[in-house]
Amino acid sequence: MRHQTVKIAFITALIVYFGIGLLLYVNQRRMLYFPTQAIADAGADSITLPVVGATLHIYVVRAGRERALIYFGGNASSASDSRAFFAAEFPDHSSYLPDYRSYGRSTGQPTQAALFADALALFDAVREHHRHIDVIGLSLGSGIAAHVAAERPVEKLALVTPYDSIRRVAQGRFPFYPMSVLLKDPYDSLSLVPRISAPTLIVIAGLDETIPSQRSEALAQAFPPAQRRVEVFATATHNTLWDRADYRALLREFFSADDADF
């Protein structure tokens, strides 16, 4: 009788384990991407960019500047909400703020392959009008920014609350599942580092509850010391950096017209 009970408990545990694993696999992109709604902002400058399988909507802040700054936001970020920040902090740049696929006014469905391709298409479009292009990526967008810097001549790169890979972040959250097998969009920024030549600022939130700081630190350590600048805000969480005057000052300094001081 006891043997039968143990057998039933074991089979039940297996069913639960594989059931949860199946749910993780099927719903993983719903857990990674959180599209924002389109916002009525008729007065905002914007452009559209046709890409394979979608049309991208991109906000343009302070058009006509010599230098350009492309910003890739987080997985729940609204590009519209970032316009005031970039207008205030980077008056010498023309800033380009894209809505990811299915976010805001952009169409299509987000995947790693699609967002990587979209980011390169945007860079190429911006390059037609600007000789100097800097890139900043926040959270999920840090992996997209790293991909662009690995494939295109980015002048300066800032990675804010970045990760070495989403796969490693997910493995930390679900340690009993083989995320290297289950994950469709691994966003392996660590593997891109050898192909990135731009001076790189890495900003780490010491109390980051979304991207563990050790994942950011692992990425930072992969860059050559002469190429990287690492700034740790020990008391900041994932979503409080943007409210800090010292963080804003750091970005302004790094993206100034002069070379970054490492």
Q: Within a domain: residue 25?
A: no
> What pLDDT is recorded for position 1?
60
Q: Within a domain: residue 59?
A: yes
pLDDT one-digit tens code per residue, 154-191:
999 999 999 999 999 999 988 888 888 889 999 999 99
Average pLDDT over residues 95-99: 97
CA distances from 171 to 26, 83, 204 (A): 16, 34, 20
Q: Within a domain: residue 187?
A: yes
CATH number at residue 216: 3.40.50.1820
Q: Within a domain: residue 16?
A: no
Q: Within a domain: residue 5?
A: no
Tally of domains within the chain: 1
CB 114 within 8 A of CB 181: no
Q: Within a domain: residue 3?
A: no
Please tell me the pTM assigned to this model. 0.94
Q: Within a domain: residue 17?
A: no
Which residue range(s) make up the domain with 139?
33-254
Q: Within a domain: residue 1?
A: no
